[in-house]
Structures are given as C-alpha cells and as structure tokens.
Structure 1
Amino acid sequence: MAKGYDFIIIGGGSAGSVLAGRLSEDPSAQVLLLEAGGSDRHPFYHLPAGFAKMTKGIGSWGWDTVPQRHMQNKIFRYTQAKVIGGGSAINAQIYTRGNSQDYDDWRQMGCEGWSYDDVLPYFRKAEDNETHDNKYHGKGGPLGVSEPRAPLRICEAYFEAAAELGIPRNLDVNGEKQDGVCYYQLTQRNVRRSSAAMAYVAPNRHRKNLTVRLGAQVRRLIVEGGRATGVEMIDGSRLIANNEVILASGAIGSPRLLQLSGIGPADHLASLGIKVVQDQPQIGANLQDHLDLYCIAELSGPYSYDRYAKPHWAAIAALQYIFGRKGPVASSLFETGGFWYADKAARSPDLQFHLGLGTGIEHGVVSMPQGGITLNSCHLRPRSRGSVRLQSADPAKAPLIDPNYLQDPFDREMTIRGLKLTQEILAQAPLKKYILAERLPGSDVRTDEDYFNFICQHSKTSHHCAGTCRMGADDEAVVDIRLRFKGIEGLRIVDNSIMPTLISSNTNAAAIMIGEKAADMIKADNRMTIQ
C-alpha cells in the first residue's frame, strides 16, 4: 500500500529545507522531504573553503549546457547540487538579497505581496545575523549570517583601488543601498557553513512528524482528476500526499520533473513519447542566469591563498583553522566584492564583482603557478532568455540546459563593459605593489571583438539560474502569487524557478526567503498552526 503524508516536498535544497523545518513545526502535519542527492557529512560541506571542491565535481550532478549559439558554441559546466541543502551546501556562502527594486518590479508585474516591503520580514525572520539587528536584519533565526574571518591585506587595497574610480565602500550591501564595494556577509556560524539543511533540517530531525529520505529520486508526479495526489519513485513505489505535493527542485530540477510527468510544452513532450497531462508551454521557458567573467592577475608575492595548495602549506592552513578559525580554510575565497554600474543610466547597480583570493578556484578557471587573484564580474539583469527541456523520457538522462547567454546584444555590451571595469580596478595604484601583471584578458585583448572572443573562451555560470516556472497573475504564468500551480490542484512550486525576473545578486538568500514566505502561505491555506 502507498505510504501517505500530508505534505511531500520534492527537493531538499535551500527552499525545500526551509519548508521541511517550518511545516513540521505543526506536530499534526506529517511532512516528507525527498532529496535525490546524498548526505552532507563530508567535511568539505562544512568548511568555508570547501566549496571550491564542490564546483569541480563533488556534490554535483555533473551536467553541462547545450552549445551556446551566441558564444561560438561554448559548452558550460552547469553545477547543480547533489546533496541535502542543495546550492546552499556547495556555494561560496555569499549572503546577498538583490536590490529592493527587483522585488518592487515583481509587484509591478502583477505579483501582489512580493514587493520589497513584503519580503523583507522573511529575510529578517530567517537570519541570525551576528553584526546587524535593525530594519534590514534580524537575530535569532535559523540561518547563521556573519562577517568574513579571513580577509587579506589585498582586500583593503581592492577597496582603495575602487575608490580611485569613484566606487565607494559599503558596509552593508543588504541595507539601505546596494551601491559600492564590500566584504560580503556570509551564511556561516562559528566559521562553519550554515546551509539551509544545517539551519532548518538538522536541528529538527528528531521530530516524529518529519521524515527525510536521501538518495530518493522521483520518477514522476501522480496527477489524478486534475489533482496532484503523490509521487512515483524510480523503483516504482508510490507515496501519497493528503494535502499538497510541493516541488522545490530548483530552476533546472523543477521544470525537468514536471516535463517527465507530462506537464509542459505538449509538442515537446509528445516528440519524446511522453503522455501529455497538461500543456503548459511556459514550463522550462524564461531561464535566466548571470554569466560570470574573470580577470586574472599574477601577484608579485604571497599575497593570496594560492600558496596553500602546496602540501606543507596545506598542513599549516589546517592548523590555522583548527586552533584559530583563521586562514584559507576559514575563507569562502570570494568574500570580497560589490555592486556598480555598467550602464550609468541603470535604475540600480547592474554589475556585481567577486574578488577571488586565488586562481583556479572553480572549474575551468586558469591558475597562476606563482599565485594570483581573480576579479569576477557579471551583468545582473540579462535580457536573454533560455530554456530547460528534456533530451529523453529517460529520467537518468541529463536535461537540455540552454541559458542562451548573450542572445541579446545589450547583454553582450554590458558584459564587456563589466570586464573592462575589472581591468581598470586592478590597474589602479593601490594594487600596484601587489600585482606583477594582468594575465587574463591581457594586453592582446583590445577591441570589442577581441573581448567577445575572450569571453567565449573564458567565462562560466554564476550558478544563479531562475525563472523557469514563472509566478504571475497572467494566464501564461506557471504558478499564481501564492505559488500554487495553475491548472492542477494540490501542487505548489517553491524555489527560484518562480522568479519572474532574476534578482540583481547571488540567489541563495532569496531562495530561503521564498521558502519562508511559502511556508506561511501553506500553513494559512491548510489552516495549520503558524509558529
């Protein structure tokens, strides 16, 4: 007989972990969390610097994009987490929320209840911020948010270099203004990662009404009489949801599972031999992501963390962390950055920077044998739109992920401007005593065509995908403003796929906010006890 629960949450990533923790607060509700990935017991999931191992394969499904036709057919490694906690378990722990106008734009698009003033209480509710307790920040929440413990002197030189170009220092880019360079706040507590799973699931595993299953791959959603009634697992077993099935598998995973379930663009599904349950062309459409570029400089001395890649220095790094919670192991390696303008007429910063305290940190990024730094930039509000489609009805096959980078000429122009600005920052006097030479792009890259050719070789995803199950009040939207699936009862989507437009920063904090807000909606709609 099929096992029954009140709520089945598919996906234990950032939003799914929040839902598991919050919905199980009502002891009368039986909550099941299904995570296709594995455990987060490996120490790399807990050490701040461990994320560098994750983007190179550990904890990832190992998927790639389709060839990017507007980027000379470049194929990108597209990291999608394969572990409880999802992206929050393998990212660089950067805690940024986007710009307030991002959410006000959602409201203006018809998403009432999603303005900045509406979502700010949920950001604050999630936080246990070690530094700030004010209008913009909260204390006492499940998610640890802290300041960097291991910045280097070159970080201050970066701030001084930015000031030479008129870019101010900002002590809180999640506060009143986003503009300026900064030390990012980090999802850490006691110099250890604070993933959504560590914050919302691990402390509540003792609850008798919360069941967590790892390595649990869903084959399809079960829809009967226009209602989602449960899920079918890969082994053919079935699990029944008395109240709701909640899809929280992310901007790639959620549209993928919907299409495997026969819910999506009818012509595409029929071409793969999948029986169409509901024709919804917008599922898997509207994919948005930040394209990340990088400028790499070789240093004139041991001013970054690159030297710790050598065995004897690695041993020293371990001791520094064990006895002082300092050094490279305590660093997220990208905890310095900021927001500024490629387009001076932009309504808010349209560029984001991440200063990497080393080289070769992420997959596909060049390393400097003598040590260096990496200054990344990404254009924050791309106009290009991509898609997520199936290559086969076989759930073991990877999806066809097409971010469609630089499809819009405006994105190409702003992206190149961002790269040029990173070069300008690194060329300023305060950094001269640290930098031996710029190695990438280098002096041979001069014209915009040169820059474009360089980008087609040296770029990566920022891991900020969103938008593929868009929320909206219009008929074409996939979910309504309470995140209920349009056309199928008992089904809700809660993750970054619901974003109408991509926010202007890293996306993990927003996913946690979405989970917090959705939990209150679900409790209210199901007349549950709200704590």
Structure 2
Amino acid sequence: MDTADYIIVGAGAAGCVLASRLTEDAGTEVLLLEAGGSDRGLLIAMPAAIPFVYQNKALNWGEQAGPEPWLDGLMIDEKRGRVVGGSTSINAMIFNRGNPRDFDGWRDQGLPGWGWGDVLPYFRKMETFAEGANETRGGDGPLQISRAPARHPLFDVYMRSGEQAGYPRPADHNSGEQEGMHIAQVLIGKGRRCSASDAYLKPAQNRRNLHLRTGAHVARILFRGDRAVGVELTNGETLMAGKEVIVAASTVGAAKLLLLSGVGPADELRQLGLPVVLDQPNVGRNLENHPGVNLQYAARREDTLVAELGLIGQARLGLEWLLFRRGLGASNFFEAGAFLKTHDGADYANLQLEFLPLARRVVNGKVKVFPGFQLWMDLSRPTSRGYVRLRSADPHAAPEIVFNHMQTEADRKDLIRSVRLARDLFSQPAWEGIRGEEVSPGASAQTDAEILDWAKRAIGTSYHPSGTCRMSASPADGVVDACGLVHGLSGLRIVCTAIMPRVTTGNLSAPTYMIAEKLADAIRGRAPFQSQGRPAAKEQ
C-alpha cells in the first residue's frame, strides 16, 4: 500500500481512534504508520507489569529532557511509547478527563467548540463506564473504564486522612466536580490493559480499507507547494496521500516531524540545512508538562503492599492473573488520588496526587520496592514553558527537549506548598501507628530553601508533555486552527496532545482520545455533537 486517502503518522491514542473512525466510511482508504512494532505480549496486557514496560527499551523512544536550566542541569527521563498503541500500551492506565474549566479556557482563547459542554458528548461517546451510563458517562463506547478496587487497607487510610484534613470526596471526579479525594478510574477491562490498540484498532483491523504498517519511521512530510501530499520513510520509501497527512505522533514527535519537514522557525531550520516550507516560529514552543516529586514514608512491612510481593506473592500474582485475569496482576497499583488546590488563591485544583501503598526507588536503572508508602504530587497547571528543537537534520537523532521546570516563582512556590500539603495529609490521625519516618525528602528539609534544594534533585514528570503545535485562532499564537489544520498550509492536520492550547488538569490519555473523536467527525464532514450543559456532581 503506497497511496491512501489519509496517511496517519503514529498509532497511539489519537492515531488508533482516527484509523477506526475514518474507515467506518467504506470508501475511505487509510494508511496508519507506526515506527514501533506489535503490541502483542503479556507484559503489555498485564496492568501490574507497568515497571517492566516502562523500562523496556524496545517499547520506548528513550528520550531525555534537559539539561534543565532551573534545576541545576538535571536530566529527566521522558517515557513515550514506540509500539502499536503508543503510550497507551505502556502508561499507568489512569483515566482523568481533566477539569471542565480547562476546556472552557480553551474556548475562551478563541476556539469555539472546545468548551466543556462541547467536548462532554465526545467523552461519553468513547467510553463504557463500568458503573453505568448517565447524563455525564458513556455506556457503549470502545474504552473500558472502571473504578479501581483499591482493596489494600492503606487506600482506605489515605482516603480517611483526606477527609480528616477537610477535603471533599466527589462521587465521580470525571463528571464535572473534580476537586477532592478519589478512588482512581482506570483503563482496565476484564483484568487487562485497555489500550488504544485494543479498544479501537483491533476491532477494525479486518476492514479492507484500513492498512497498518509497523516499523515505518517517517523522515519527513512531502509537499507540493504549500500542500502536504505524502511522507517519506527513513528507508527512502515514498507514500502518497490523496486527501490529508495527519500527524498523530505525540507532542514531541509531532514537533520533530514538522521541523524535519521544513515547518518551523526559519532561522533554526536553515542552520541545519533544511529547506523552509513555512516559517512558523511557534512549532516546538509552548511545551508544557506536569512536574512533580514523590513524598515517601517508611512503614512496617506487614502494613504495606510489599508484604504481598515476596517470591511466593509474585508467583501467586502471576498465576492468578494468567488463569483468571484478576488479583494484584489486574491492578495498576495507582488506585487512589486527589485533585487539590495548593493555595486558597487558586481558581481551581492545580495539584494532582497519586498514592501508592508501597515505596519505590530506582537502583542501577531498575525499580526496587521497600516497606513504606508514597505520594506522587505534580503541578497540574504549571506556568513554566519549554521547547522541542532539532539537534540535527537526521530523523533518527533525538530532539532537544527542555521543559524549563521551576522557571517561574509561581511554580517554585506551588511545589513547596505541595510538599507541605502532603505532609499535613500524612499527619492526620488516620496514619497514627502506621506512619514511620519520612524517607524523602526527610525531616531535615523544613525551610522553603531546603525543600526547593531537594526538589531540584528529585523532580520528575508525569509524562504529560503537550502544546508544541498548539491550537489557536491566529497563526501568530499557535500552529493549528480549531480543526487541527496547520495555519498557512493545506492537506496537513495534527491530532494529538501537541495541539492542546493549555495542558489539562490530570493525565492526558483521556483528553487525547476525546480530541481524536471530535476531529474525526470534522474530517468526515460530520456536524459536531450538540453542546451539553454541565450537570452538578453529587458529593458522597
């Protein structure tokens, strides 16, 4: 297959949705290109195997961000799936739509059709929620969404400590009222990871008009004048698109491919010897991520999940999952969290928490667990901005990624407040008799300066980069319009996290699916769903 109506670059969340929806029209030929290989295998399917797929170099692009100028040159690992299903085949499977005000903010930036009421019908369309359909949740979509069982006693302790600290507990944090403590919702169905490949691609794979190619690394987009007409692979092969080239290659991948194709800041492209198709200085800019740190406490082995992960426990975990698709093997372990404000002046939740009933550290590149518990906390709406740039014109070379984490005083203050908020959570009566010594950052970090000094060495990310090809009403402010079409070009569309005008509050897989569902309708010439009002969620 060397020609199609649509060529889609990247078989991640957005690419799989588009391939499935566009080929519902029998007369539409779609060629889906994935640089990685097959997603078949038990490690990907088994939710508890997250640490192994994270560390599998064959499933990952192996990129790093940095040196980070505001973190004393820190280098940060950045996970990005290089496999069918993309990052949905290696991520933690946490399902968070984002805050309604995130999307209202997109709309208010001059992007009609992207407010919460506009996108809610697409969130409903894409899911089957295990607790049933209602005015905010879907009941017959491809994605299997369930509430984590959270059976370990420490999850209950964590939830009670939040209530003791005065935080609310919304009945469904994905139905409009996000702020407060919650049991996580996960992309797990019948004990298996529910990836984009499982939900969208495999049910459509027998359609004659859908063609998937793995190991297809795109070197550049081909243009005839200002129109995208195809792509060239790194092996020199040329593939042609009759209607559009659609880039669904992630925030980093989309920016890199546009730059390699001559779409970006003209001066930077010329310095690398790349011909300029379109001088667009916004390509690769506006990079956001969710920076965060882990607060860790020691605890008795018998009080933590580590007690169930000895040799016998691991054997039981694997056998029970293999035979019945249940037990710890069917868990992602991140089964409780929260969305909270770091200070009273925040207009809505700007901090995400994820609780683990064990503690982990990386030793010689491998994740090791120890008796304790930990809380990951990331800044959900940071004010620092970074960039993606090319290091060379070689499509095999990793790009330069710099997040500029902690560039702004606001972010530094919020991170310090986050540590103090988490410490207050663990000081509640629910933890008496369980909480041991603070392992990280440790009791010696008390002043703002001491906490910030520790954070500069400890910061990581939630692997939520966005914004390098952001949507905007004008090419002066972004790269694509409200339908994902690149300003100033034709036949070229971007559909992935790269087009988010502002990062959402929470994990990015859910809004990425939504974006692809919505833009699939636009590509097919279908009218968007009618805007739906925002129902109030009930407190429990």
Please say whether Structure 1 and Structure 2 have the same fold, judged by a TM-score greater than 0.5.
yes
Whether contact under 8 Å (1:482, 1:521) holds in the other structure is yes
Match of 1:205 in 2: 205
Deviation digits for residues 10-36 of structure 1 (CA, Å, limit 9, x no counterpart):
001111110011001111000010011
After superposition, the C-alpha distances for 1:152-197 in whole angstroms (9 at most, x for unaligned) are 1100100111112111222311013101111111111112111111
C-alpha contact (below 8 Å) 2:362/2:368 kept by paired residues: no
Amino acid at match of 1:4: T
Counterparts in 2 of 1:270 and 1:525: CA distance versus 1, 3 Å: farther
1:428-477 superposed Cα distances (whole Å, 9 cap, x missing partner): 22122322222111101011111111111112111111000010112322
Q: Indicate the residue corresponding to 1:529 in structure 2.
A: none
Please, which moves more after superposition, 334-343 or 249-258?
334-343
| 1:466-477 equivalent positions in 2, closer than 5 A | 466-476=466-476, 477=478
Secondary structure at the counterpart of residue 436 of structure 2 = strand
Q: Deviations over 1:298-319 (max 9, x none)?
A: 1113333334553332102123
Matching residue of 1:480 = 481
Counterpart of 2:395 in structure 1 is: 395
**Mapped partners of 1:372, 1:328: distance in 2:** 18
CA deviation after TM superposition for structure 1 residue 245, in Å:
0.4
Deviation at 1:369, TM superposition (A): 6.2
| Cα RMSD (Å) | 1.8
Q: Which is further off, 357-366 or 280-289?
A: 357-366
Q: Which amino acid aligns with 2:197?
A: A
Match in the other structure for 2:465: 465
Matched residues in 2 for 1:493 and 1:22: separation? 16
- Shift of the 365–342 alpha-carbon distance from structure 1 to 2, 3 Å rule, reads farther
Tell me the equivalent position of 2:341. Answer: 341
- Distance in 2, matches of 1:267 and 1:307, equals 58
TM-superposed CA distance for 1:86, in Å, is 1.2
> 1-side partners of 2:365 and 2:3: how far apart?
47
SS where residue 446 of structure 1 aligns? Answer: coil
Report the Cα distance in structure 1 between the residues aligned to 2:22 and 2:81, rounded to whole angstroms: 23
Partner of 1:276: 276
Contact 1:173 1:182 in 2 (8 A): yes
Q: Which residue of 2 aligns with 1:287?
A: 287
Residues 174-231 of structure 1: CA deviation (Å, up to 9, x unaligned): 0131011111111111121111111000111101100011111001000112100000
Kept in 2: contact 1:247–1:254 (CA 8 A): yes
For each residue in 1:410-431, what CA deviation from the matched residue of structure 2 results, as whole angstroms up to 9, or x when unmatched? 0110011112211221222212
Q: Which residue of 1 aligns with 2:55?
A: 56
- Do the aligned residues in 2 keep the contact of 1:150 with 1:328 (CA within 8 Å)? no
Secondary structure at 1:80 match in 2:
coil
2:380 aligned partner: 380
**2:421 partner SS:** helix
- Partner-residue secondary structure (3-state), 1:55: helix
Q: 1:235 to 1:134 in 2, by over 3 A?
A: same
Shift of 1:343: 2.0
1:495 corresponds in structure 2 to 496
| 1:12 and 2:22 correspond | no
Change beyond 3 A, Cα 1:199–1:368: closer
* 1:235 is the counterpart of 2:235: yes
The residue aligned with 1:248 is 248
Give 1:87 deviation, angstroms: 1.5
**Structure 1 stretches lacking a partner, 5+ long:** 527-531
Which TM-score applies when normalising by structure 2? 0.94
AA partner of residue 126 (structure 1):
M
Q: Is the Cα contact below 8 Å between 1:149 and 1:330 reproduced in 2?
A: no
Match of 1:35 in 2: 34
CA contact under 8 A between 1:356 and 1:373: conserved in structure 2? Answer: yes
* SS of aligned partner of 2:302: coil
The aligned runs of 1:107-256 (5 Å cut-off) are 107-256=107-256
Quick one: which amino acid aligns to residue 312 of structure 2? Answer: H
After superposition, the Cα gap between the structure-2 partners of 1:370 and 1:460, relative to the gap in structure 1 and judged at 3 Å, is closer
Check conservation: 1:289, 1:462, Cα contact below 8 A. Answer: yes
Query: Which range is displaced more, 394-403 or 167-176?
Result: 167-176
Kindly provide the amino acid, as one letter, of the partner of residue 489 in structure 2: I
Q: Give the letter for the 1:231 counterpart.
A: V
Q: How big is the shift at 1:362?
A: 7.2
- 2-structure distance, mates of 1:364, 1:112: 49
CA distance in 2, matches of 1:47, 1:190: 11
Letter in 2 for 1:523: R
Q: Which runs of 5+ in 2 are unaligned?
A: 528-540
Which residue identity lines up with residue 73 of structure 2 in the other structure?
N
Deviation (angstroms), 1:57: 3.6
1:490 Cα offset (Å): 0.5
Q: Is the 8 A contact 2:471 2:501 kept in 1?
A: yes
Once the two structures are superposed, residues 338-360 of structure 1 have per-residue CA deviations (whole angstroms, 9 ceiling, x without a partner) of 11110212121111100023222
Distance of aligned partners of 1:89 and 1:150 in 2 relative to their CA distance in 1, 3 Å threshold: same
Which moves more between the two structures, 348-357 or 109-118? 348-357
After superposition, the Cα gap between the structure-2 partners of 1:473 and 1:458, relative to the gap in structure 1 and judged at 3 Å, is same
Give the structure 1 partner of residue 77 of structure 2. 77
Per-residue displacement from partner, 1:273-326 (whole Å, max 9, x unpaired)? 111111100000000000021101111133333345533321021233345544
The answer as to whether partners of 1:55 and 1:363 remain within 8 angstroms in 2 is no
Code of the aligned partner of 1:417: R
1:264 maps to what in 2?
Answer: 264
**Cα distance in 2, alignment partners of residues 169 and 365 from structure 1:** 37
1:377–1:364 Cα change, 3 Å: farther
How big is each residue's C-alpha offset from its partner over 1:20-59, in whole Å with a ceiling of 9 and x where there is no partner? 1100111100001001111111211111112222223442
Q: TM-score if structure 1 supplies the norm length?
A: 0.96
- Quick one: which amino acid aligns to residue 391 of structure 1? R
CA–CA separation in structure 1 for the residues paired with 2:147 and 2:328: 15
Matched residue SS, 1:26: coil
Task: Check whether the contact 1:300–1:433 (CA below 8 A) recurs between aligned residues.
Answer: no
Partners of 1:450 and 1:488 lie apart in 2 by 50
The 8 Å contact of residues 298 and 368 in structure 1, kept in 2 or not, is answered as no
Q: Distance in 2 between matches of 1:122 and 1:369?
A: 39
Verify the 8 A CA contact 1:466 1:497 in the aligned structure 2.
yes
CA contact (8 A) 1:94 1:506 kept: yes
Q: Matched residues in 2 for 1:7 and 1:33: separation? A: 8
